[in-house]
Chain A
Amino acid sequence: MDTTPLPQVAHQHLVFEDGLALDCGRHLARLEVAYRTYGTLNAARSNAILICHALTGDQYVAEPQPLTGKPGWWELVVGPGKPIDTDRYFVLCANVLGGCMGSTGPRSPRDDGPGLWGTDFPPVTVHDMVAAQRKLVTHFGISRLFAVIGGSMGGMQVLEWAASYPEMVFAAVPIATAAYHSAQNIAFDEVGRQAIFADPDWKGGRYWEDGTIPARGLAVARMCAHITYLSEDALNRKFGRRLRTRPTAPEGATTDGTPTAAPPPSVFSDKFEVQSYLHHQGSTFVRRFDANSYLAITRAMDYFDLAAEYDGNLAAAFAGTRTRFLLVSFTSDWLFPTSESRAIARALNGVAANVSFVEIASDKGHDAFLLDEPDFFRTLSGFLSGCAEHAGLAPSSREESSREEPPR
């Protein structure tokens, strides 16, 4: 497996020289926030939507990711005429604090000496991530975001935004998420972390000193996590028990077409399609993500418990809120099951908040929020249009023209 370090890529970013006070008590002397924007901020600065990305997402929402060249992770949802319509809204997305796509994190130079932070990077929380995003939002002169939207860990940030800065959030859309990380989710994260620790290339977190990465450990962490993003039905549908019919040529095979002798059967050869799929997921992931970032961010997720910040009462986190909420869950998501969204709905009802709550039927598991789910798209775009009407945002030119269409 390729253990060369990730290439250094320049990311659009802002530097906040006043740093950031973290929940752990430390003060980051210097804060960098890498971000991307789509669409145009209107004169009143009232049409901004902040998108919060998930654990291994990044700010490249609707354009090719610079390291992989692959389409942005939410291109189905964000763009002109899409559910989050960039003809109408100004979309902003920041790489999370602790991330590895340009925002301050374990790959950044430390502020108290030479070298990189590595595993000495202070433990950050979801609230810290949101506080860093807030600095970016304020920099744009936006006093109130029209909406904050995100799935999975992004949904945790949405909840934290709505609880910590309610006056800055007109509408909140936490998708496939929970108000705390469950013991099962923490357990899966721990398997991933132990896989990284067990890789000799991790070197106690100081792999960056001699130009390698713990590729095998990080790949195993990704494979384990990836299973939790799918569903049994989706795995059965995509792979079933199918065996690979054409094994890859072993190393050193001739390339002129002459058949090489079939390798002897071995317990180590890829057999099932699902195996090679997972291997592929693992090996591509390590070419775009930093292991120490993975440790920092999974820790932040594990420690997320919004109710705990409010004496164990989740409803208290939203007391007096005027934010309009849309909660979305997916039937086959067992990582952040519907019961978690329902618990959030219950807390919001407890303070008589304005809540829409939809469970979308899908067999695609947790990843459904990233995939083509027409019911989800309709729900999201309808909710945003309804909110835009209440917020007094001008309809998009597309909506305007469809309204002006004469009746037949």
Chain B
Amino acid sequence: MNAAAEPIRYVAKNMRLDQRLIAEMVEAGSRVLDIGCGDGALIEYLSRTRGCDARGIEIDMAEVTHAVGRGLPVMHGDADADLAQYPDGAFDYVVLSRTLQAVEKPREVLRQMLRIGARAVVSFPNFGHWQLRWQLLTRGRMPMTSVWGRYWYETPNIHPCTIRDFFDLCTQEGYRVERWLAVDDAGQRSPWRRAPRLANLFGEQALFLLRKA
């Protein structure tokens, strides 16, 4: 909770908004594994400014080469297959940003994250947003928005879920939601913090900090 109050002193140029919000959730000096780390912007920020031992896994080899070429500890691998290799409790935080909806077995990936890490930080695009609901209701077709911008037959997002769905899964799996927040399309933190139903309607992206209950 204290981490949220700390101002962000330095923001890597290439950090996305959700990565900045994630960085706020991670305590300084901790061990972090970022799954789907892309070019390593988050781990670079965490290790340079927060003294973290931050590492990454990335499936796109060009991104891996780019990240390692910048001196970041990143390895080629994928969330579904490679998390099982790590020992229990190897990390303080395991981060999965904007990837949960694209993995083959989201529930298993979450289990692995909370096995190898004390906490899991998960962000995903919310399929319960009102625009999606409205489009589906009025047009009767798969919705298309700026966040969900690919046709149904070519999207990598094979497991979309809503914020309420995710709360349910956490209850079912016995995970404690330590923090959560939703952001709207302008990237502002939503005012519906204590109201999951409203967040589910107006939040475009969700961010959860979990630990085992």
Q: Which of B75-83, B129-137, B138-146, B161-169 contacts A (4 or more CB under 8 A)?
A: B75-83
Which residues B54-105 have CB closer than 8 A to chain A? 55, 61, 64-65, 68-77, 82, 85-87, 90-91
Sort chain A's interface into a size bin: 20 to 34
- B86 & A358 in contact (Cβ 8 Å cutoff): no
Asked whether any CB of chain B lies closer than 8 Å to the CB of A108, the reply is no
B86 nearest in chain A by CB position: A349
Asked whether any CB of chain B lies closer than 8 Å to the CB of A133, the reply is no
Chain A proximity of B206: nearest CB distance (Å): 29
Q: Which of A97-105, A136-144, A249-257, A377-385 contacts B (4 or more CB under 8 A)?
A: A377-385
- A358 & B65 in contact (Cβ 8 Å cutoff): yes
Asked whether any CB of chain B lies closer than 8 Å to the CB of A324, the reply is yes
Proximity bits, A341-379, B CB within 8 Å = 1, else 0: 000011001111011111111000000000000010011
- A383 & B61 in contact (Cβ 8 Å cutoff): no
Sort chain B's interface into a size bin: 20 to 34
Q: With contacts A349-B86, A350-B86, A351-B87 known, is A357 near B77, CB below 8 A?
A: yes
Asked whether any CB of chain B lies closer than 8 Å to the CB of A387, the reply is yes
- B70 & A386 in contact (Cβ 8 Å cutoff): yes
* A379–B40 CA distance with the chains assembled, in angstroms: 14
Q: With contacts A349-B86, A359-B61 known, is A382 near B68, CB below 8 A?
A: yes
* A327–B64 CA distance with the chains assembled, in angstroms: 12
* A357–B63 CA distance with the chains assembled, in angstroms: 12
Asked whether any CB of chain B lies closer than 8 Å to the CB of A326, the reply is yes
Q: How many A-B contacts if CB must be within 8 Å? A: 66
Residues of A at the B interface (CB closer than 8 Å) are: 324, 326-327, 345-346, 349-352, 354-361, 375, 378-379, 381-383, 385-387, 389
Task: List A contacts of B91 (CB < 8 A).
Answer: 352
Chain B proximity of A89: nearest CB distance (Å): 15
- B86 & A378 in contact (Cβ 8 Å cutoff): no
Listed A/B pairs (18) with beta-carbon separation below 8 Å: A324-B73, A346-B82, A349-B82, A350-B85, A354-B73, A355-B73, A356-B72, A356-B74, A378-B65, A378-B69, A379-B68, A381-B69, A382-B71, A383-B69, A385-B71, A386-B70, A387-B71, A389-B71
Question: CB within 8 A of A379: which of B65, B82, B85, B90?
Answer: B65
Task: List B contacts of A358 (CB < 8 A).
Answer: 61, 64-65, 68, 75-76
